[in-house]
Amino acid sequence: MIETIKKDIKMDKLTKNELNERASDKAFAKIFHLQEDLIQAKEEVKTGGNGRYTKDLLEIVRNSCERELQTWNYIAKLIELDNTDQKSNVEILKDLCNLSNEYEE
């Protein structure tokens, strides 16, 4: 029965452009949420949060968000470099995310 189901479900392979677009979308969705998390973490370090966690732990969370954001920005840059035949949304989204951060800080 499983073999029959596998035969019925035929998955077409993604083109390079489709794969690049999907990877770009996923990377920048992650970057957007990490930036939101970082803004919240920075605010909690300033205010001391809600008192449930120590300031040291809040700083660890903030630092972790910063490192994770650096990693995902690097991944996005690699995706952008891989997309040499056309201009991707990566640079546009990065600029929009940076504008958002400038206004909130």
The predicted-structure confidence for 29-75, as pLDDT tens digits, reads as follows 999 999 999 999 999 999 998 889 999 999 999 999 999 999 999 99
Question: Which residues neighbour 16 within 8 Å (Cβ) at sequence distance 6 or greater?
Answer: none
Residue extents of the structural domains in the chain:
16-104
C-alpha 9/C-alpha 95 separation (Å) is 40
CA atoms within 13 A on the CB side of 46: 7
Better-predicted residue by pLDDT, 48 or 93: 48
pLDDT band at 16 (very low <50, low <70, confident <90, very high): confident
Q: What is the pLDDT of residue 63?
A: 97
Which of the two residues, 94 and 104, has the higher pLDDT score?
A: 94
Question: Tell me, what's the pLDDT at 35?
Answer: 96
Of the chain, the percentage scoring pLDDT greater than 90 comes to 50
Q: Is 60 exposed, middle or buried (0-12, 13-18, 19+ CB in 10 A)?
A: middle
Radius of gyration of the chain measured on its C-alpha atoms? 19
Alpha carbon of residue 42 to chain centroid: 18
41 and 65 Cβ atoms separated by less than 8 Å: yes
**What pLDDT is stored for residue 57 in this prediction?**
96
